[in-house]
Amino acid sequence: MRARDVMSTPVLTARGGAMSTDVVSVPAHLDVAVVAHRMRSLGVRAVPVVDHGRVAGIITRRDLLAAQG
């Protein structure tokens, strides 16, 4: 995976400290296996999916399990 395939974006929260300031996202075109590997390596359960600079959705571990069949 190339560095440009995963983006870090600051997140603003109303309550401050409720969420991490570094959000990892994946581009919409990224292969499911690569997304699964990245999520495992980071220890996260879900990541936003970005398409053309906008959040298009979110992918979760459950989604990955369902995709495996």
Q: What b/e readout covers 30-67, taking b as 16+ CB neighbours within 10 angstroms?
A: beeeebbebbeeeeeeebbbbeeeeeeeebeeeebeee
Per-residue pLDDT tens for 6-49?
Answer: 444 444 444 555 555 677 899 999 999 999 999 999 999 999 99
For range 60-69, the mean pLDDT: 88
What is the reported pTM?
0.66
Residue 55 has pLDDT above 80, yes or no: yes
Query: Domains in the chain, start-ordered, CATH in brackets?
Result: 3-68 (3.10.580.10)
Structure tokens at 23: 């959000």
